[in-house]
Chains A and B, each alone.
Chain A
Amino acid sequence: DAGVTQSPTHLIKTRGQQVTLRCSPKSGHDTVSWYQQALGQGPQFIFQYYEEEERQRGNFPDRFSGHQFPNYSSELNVNALLLGDSALYLCASSPTLYARVLTFGAGSRLTVL
């Protein structure tokens, strides 16, 4: 049973560019959340998707956007990259809304130069 898979695992971008990160939830899960983990910090909630809609959003600017597809997979897009966007981006899935049982992926490490 595959868990949460994320791609790519590592990527390097330059300031001002745009990036798309992808996430496939665990089988049987329909809710996806994204977290940003800066070096030496705990993860920070970006947003959550359920039924292809953004259900809740953390304190992140509009440069961060997302999408959920009918097969429950999700994308995180970041526009106009800043050096401070360098971080590990974690995707987590859960069986449904309010399940409080999150399964995390191994993350995508983004470096902005």
Chain B
Amino acid sequence: AQTVTQSQPEMSVQEAETVTLSCTYDTSESNYYLFWYKQPPSRQMILVIRQEAYKQQNATENRFSVNFQKAAKSFSLKISDSQLGDTAMYFCAFIDFGNEKLTFGTGTRLTIIP
């Protein structure tokens, strides 16, 4: 069974600084997708970034980038120039090619301090 582990329950960082959230996963599959979702207090899960496992190049979306290490089964999220609006729960998630089920980690609560 696939599992996703987020070992940092809470993190805080000063506004404009850079922060990295960690995620590791376990799977026997070779083709899969990895995601980072953001869940603000409004509760709506918002996609931050997506990575296809077959792509060696790390995905980037503006201030958000990932460090995907397939052999180590590691998928960390880097947020540059952090903003107050980045305050939220961040979930790492996994889905493999033969499946429709997203498997989520337990989340990291990120607080951006003014």
Contact = CB atoms under 8 A, between A and B. Distances in A.
Interface residues of A, number: 26
A1 B43 CA distance: 19
A42 B95 contact: no
Given A42-B91, A100-B95, A106 B44 contact: yes
Interface string B30-63: 0001000100001111110010000000000000
Contact of B44 (A43, A45, A56, A104): A104
Q: Which of A35, A42, A55, A100 has the most CB of B within 10 A?
A: A42
Contacts of A106: 42-44
A88 B33 contact: no
A42 B108 CA distance: 10
Interface of B: 4, 33, 37, 42-47, 50, 91, 93, 95, 97, 99-107
